Structure 1
Amino acid sequence: MPLDRILRNLITWQRAGGAPLPAREMTVEAAREKYRANAWRPRRDGGPHARVRAADHAIGTADGASILCRVYTPEADSGRVITFLHGGGWVLGDLDSHDSACRMMAASLGAVVVSADYRRAPEFPYPTPLRDAADAARWTSRTFPGRDHVIAGDSAGAHMALGLAMQARESGDLPLAALLLVYPPVDPSLRIAAACEHPDGYLLSVDDMAWHYELYVPDPRRRREPLVDLINADLRGLPPTVLATAEFDPLRDEGAELAERLCAAGVPVRYVPGPGLVHGYFLMQEVVPAAAACARRVVQELDAVLRSAPVRAGRGER
């Protein structure tokens, strides 16, 4: 289907003063500031999910550092907990940029959501962000025992969520009920993205992804490691997964390919395409109705998984 009308107007407005400078042509701090400026900040009135309470907690990491986690507590508690890893290409993004999305998940699922502010590249390249994510997930498990635990993330956060689930499968010390992966990057070679229908995307391009991978994993040889090259990793034994993509996103085809490979590995998968949407739509729910509708469907699919509803495998409804 065509690009959503509201998204098209937003992109046209953004480009009215000339093509915006790509992140790869900025300094890292300038790119972060641009991301912060474009993100939807926490609203003082709490927005549509005002009854979700939020509190920040400092937690220790395995290497003796400290990171922040923001814990969202819903009014109605269904006995679930989500460790959420924000996107931003391992370089951008923070707790505030994803505040609204975390509030929506907490309210819609009746889940405590723990959003982890992992250390970012290039100051802290791979594997430090992934190790921080693991420390946050273990803190979540200890702090909220006896709950159905979901690891979730969007974009780079989804990449780490999948890697974390692979580690948990091997260690056996972090029981997981489900995975939520929203437009995950999984092919560091970028061959799939370069060959897709929209390699330049609308808010993300293949060149942008190359810049992010270069900062996150500066040694090209390490990009072949299973926790980075996820499309070629052993996917067997992972928890039921909800995987979402966006139609006008260079990562769409590798996300769809990942869903196929998960299914082939015996993992129950619910696949949610994002017709007419772009990369980052999960953060646009307050301004783009189509993004909000698709995000609701993603959350509904996760709710169905957690309720142990039947999960069908196959193309389309995987």
Structure 2
Amino acid sequence: MDRFVRALIQWQAGSRPEPARTLPVARLRERYAEQATQLSRGSRYAGIETKDQLIDGGDGEFGVRTYLPPTDRGRLVTYLHGGGWVVGDVDTHDPVCRRIAAELGAVVVSVDYRRAPEHPHPGPLRDGIAASEWADRAFPGRLHVIAGDSAGGALAVGISMHHRDHGGVGFAGQLLVYPPADPELRSRSAREYGTGYLSEVDDLRWYYDQYVPDPAHRTAPEIDLLGADHRGLPPAVIGTAGFDPLYDEGVELAERMAAHGVLVRQVSAPGLVHGYLLMADTVPAADQATADVLAAVEDLLASAPTAP
């Protein structure tokens, strides 16, 4: 394990934080935002121009934040933040989106989707679909990537499946960083790394309870990604972390996509834990892992000759 990550784990153990599942949602969101701020040392891309606005998703308004790259290379990324569908927002993931805009030369549309438990499934997914359609209209003619980390990565796959099935946005690729893919959390990594590695498997189960309260609905393909039909989806870059309870799910998702004919590249970060994108300013290995997944997306886009 990376020594900086080990230090973070030891620091967290010493502070004895209350498990996410025991906190009121409002306090949990505050704590997540505080932790994101502590991990960020101020974005190296602070000068990027941004614009916040509300858009209408059809059943209500939600926010998006648009980032304009310093060097525009004709690309577009719709980004869904992580946080178990319950916490996180465009502010917690602001450094991530600034980096994507700068390093890929892409306009980035970060989606402040409405969150569970106030807005359970399919609310966040519908917001993501509407945001990707809005982005495609607002910035036409670009190579469009659907992207997200953690819960946002699962939303990104659901958005891809929706547009495949309904003839919507034609994505050039998917960027999925440590996405949850099995709502039953049955993997070896969930057992081995489910306690003491910053992301607790019992909290992950609680997040599913907030997002999809009825277990009968967790067999839907946009929830059970390992049981979904991935045929016809765009090429994907899947980032995994070696000490993540979701590690095996990411590996298996890559394998299942490849078996369905999807061009997939799995980018492993062996010494890291879930959430490493938010650690890039403080953990050198996380900085490198973030660079690695973005380099993989760069390779993917370089092989796409024209916007779909």
Please tell me the TM-score bracket, short chain as reference. Answer: over 0.9
Mapped contact 2:39–2:282 kept (Cα < 8 A)? no
SS in 2 for 1:50: coil
Q: CA deviation at 1:200?
A: 2.1
Task: Give me the whole-angstrom Cα distance separating, in 2, the residues matched to 1:306 and 1:291.
Answer: 23
Which letter does structure 1 place at the counterpart of 2:22?
E
The superposition leaves residues 8-53 of structure 1 with CA deviations (integer Å, 9 ceiling, x where unpaired) of 1122122223x2111001111111111011013898x963113321
User: C-alpha distance in 1, partners of 2:266/2:253?
Assistant: 10
TM-score normalised to structure 2 length: 0.95
Paired residue for 1:36? 33
Note the alpha carbon deviations across 1:188-209, whole angstroms, 9 max, x for none. 1111266553222511122111
Q: Which residue of 2 aligns with 1:55?
A: 51
Contact persistence 2:190–2:246 (CA under 8 A): no
Q: 1:173 is matched by which residue type in structure 2?
A: G
1:314 match: none
Q: Scaled by the length of structure 1, what TM-score is found?
A: 0.92
Pairs within 5 Å for 1:192-231: 192=187, 196-200=191-195, 202-231=197-226
Uncovered stretches (5+) of structure 1, i.e. residues with no partner: 310-318
Aligned partner of 1:93 in structure 2 is 88
Residue of structure 2 in register with 1:164 after alignment: 159
Higher RCO, 1 vs 2 (CA within 8 Å, ≥6 residues apart): 2
Trace 1:68-107 onto structure 2 (pairs within 5 A). Answer: 68-107=63-102
Distance 1:51 1:194 in 2: 39
Q: Deviations over 1:206-247 (max 9, x none)?
A: 211100000000011001111111110001111000000101
Q: Given the superposition, is the C-alpha separation of residues 158 and 270 from structure 1 closer, same or farther in structure 2, using an over 3 Å criterion?
A: same
Give the Cα–Cα distance (whole angstroms) in 1 for the partners of residues 127 and 210 of structure 2. Answer: 17
* Match status 1:119 vs 2:141: no
Counterpart Cα distance in 1 of 2:96 and 2:270 = 19
Contact 1:4 1:277 in 2 (8 A): yes
Q: 1:194 to 1:243 in 2, by over 3 A?
A: closer
Partner of 2:297: 302
Equivalent pair of 1:41/1:96 in contact (CA under 8 Å): no
Amino acid at match of 2:72: D
Secondary structure of the residue aligned to 1:167 is: helix
Note the C-alpha offset of 1:254: 0.6
| Aligned with residue 288 of structure 1, among 283, 290, 300 | 283
* Aligned-CA RMSD value: 1.6
Structure 2's unaligned 5+ residue stretches are none
| CA distance, structure 2, for counterparts of residue 260 and residue 303 of structure 1 | 21
**Equivalents in 2 of 1:251, 1:158: separation in Å?**
12
Q: AA paired with 2:26? A: E
Q: Does the aligned pair in 2 maintain the 1:7–1:288 contact within 8 Å? A: yes
CA contact (8 A) 2:230 2:260 kept: yes
What do residues 111-144 of structure 1 show as CA deviations (whole Å, max 9, x unaligned)?
Answer: 0000000000000000000000001000000000
* Identity rate, percent: 53
How many equivalent pairs are there? 304
| Stretches of 4+ aligned residues off by more than 3 angstroms | 193-197
- Find the aligned partners of 1:219 and 1:290 in 2 and give their Cα distance: 38
CA contact (8 A) 2:39 2:278 kept: no
Counterpart in 2 of 1:20? 17
